[in-house]
Amino acid sequence: MSVTRYECQACGWIYPAQSESANPEPIAFNELPDTFCCPLCGVGKAQFKPLDVDETPGAATLTSSMQNSSQQCQDVVVVGAGLAGWTVIDALRAKQPDIGITLITQDMADRYHKPMLSVALSQNKTPQDLVRMSGVQAAQKANITLMSQTQVISIDSKNRTLQTNKGELSYGNLVLALGAAPAIPACFADQDIWHINDLEGFSKIQAALAGETGANKHIAVIGAGMIGTEIAEDLTTAGHKVTLLDINDAPLAGLLPPQAPHKNMQAPHKQNNTFLGGHLVQKAGPPREGGF
């Protein structure tokens, strides 16, 4: 018997998990208890949607505002190929099969679930394993024009033009889905820091950790919020030694009720992690030759 697969809208985890789908009789998603939550990111059942069903909240509002626009221009330019950019494209395409859509992005526009980046090292996944569909294939499927590896440098909203590193482009309607930039303490030089915010960054840290010998490393993770703790756990599971630092006294301090972080304090030590609470990083030397 096969059951309909459901996808977590927050992190992309799919029910039933591969190991469960091997089970000839996995429980249908609707029959799971109301207390069920995503094992990867923890959101509740309501945040799951059936796979391959095109539900497109927001598309109606966006398309009707485009139809009301005084310019009546049908060409949409979306900048950014993360979850936000691709979700807008899916929503528009579902409502407007013929509208012209151009996607501009400085990466390859590959479709993947970013939350996997903080759990994939220990699973030995390569960036290619994480890509669910290449940018080129996804663009063909959505019938859009793709300008990958193209960086938007400035916007002239009066004349509705974009300046990119590959030239100028005009737009009718513009969607900016640029993501966020990390808040990096001033004491770090940008080149001394590993970013795990995209597939390229993931690939670089994976290569650096593998190194010449593949020996386990000692890694400092600064920031014990949700992603810092996840990455610390992933690195430890992968066999590395981790020191997790945070200005707060306990991991996940801003996310959990006051009594919970104390229990959490014990968790990193159990996993051969060291947690240093109440530490504000003020200075850092450059990484050693080879990164670690």
Chain contacts with ligand FAD (rule: CB under 6 A): 10-11, 41, 79-85, 104-107, 114-115, 117-118, 151-152, 177-179, 196-197, 227
Distance in angstroms (rounded) separating the CA atoms of residues 125 and 123: 5
Which residue(s) pair with 220 in the sheet?
Answer: 243
Residue reference for tokens 């091997």:
22
Residue closer to ligand FAD (CB basis): 104 or 222: 104
Phi, psi of 133 (to 5 degrees): -155, 135
Give helix 135-142 / helix 83-95 axis angle, nearest 10°. 20
Residue 174 zone, left/alpha/beta (φ > 0; ψ -120 to 50; rest):
beta
Using DSSP, state whether 76 is helix, strand or coil.
Answer: strand
Residue closer to ligand FAD (CB basis): 80 or 261: 80
Residue closer to ligand FAD (CB basis): 3 or 264: 264
Tokens of 206: 């994976």
Other CB atoms within 10 Å distance of the CB of residue 221: 23
Residue closer to ligand FAD (CB basis): 66 or 83: 83
Tokens of 187: 């004491």
Burial group, residue 224, by CB count within 10 angstroms (0-12, 13-18, 19+): buried
